[in-house]
Structure 1
């Protein structure tokens, strides 16, 4: 009866797994900045509506909404890169 070829071979030497490619954690200022951007964007939009479109900057009118949304989106983008 023929013998199995798998049993005759010696097991390969142990090779450690490759080093992790994980990136380093964010700096300590990362979380406070994105939280501040989120809150500031929200407050910008709320103040714009509550003051009947006069504040924060009356001269730019509806562009106040754009500024508020840019602040909000900047904060959200930072949350996606948070580790």
Structure 2
């Protein structure tokens, strides 16, 4: 039986170099700021409840809870980028 003509395969190109697969570590200040925001938010809410609304900002009233949670949430959102 006759053999078919073999086709030349194109030379395989080397794979493109990948960007560094390991992410860069966070700066030194990242972890203290992250935990600091979570603690400050918690303390803001605790002070509001203990002082019965007289502190930290009396003009905000119940908005102090939103401020406290907002500060803490920023800290928690920072945990998604923590390496």
User: How does the TM-score come out when normalised to structure 1?
Assistant: 0.75
| CA RMSD of superposed structures (Å) | 2.1
CA distance in 1: counterparts of 2:45 and 2:20, whole angstroms: 43
Mapped partners of 1:53, 1:33: distance in 2: 27
The 5 A counterparts of 1:22-33 are 22-33=22-33
TM-score by length of 2: 0.75
Please state if 1:80 is matched with 2:77: no
What are structure 2's unaligned runs of at least 5 residues? 1-14
Gaps of 5+ in 1: 1-14
Distance in 2 (alpha carbons) for counterparts of 1:22 and 1:70:
31
Q: Which residue in 1 is equivalent to 2:48?
A: 48
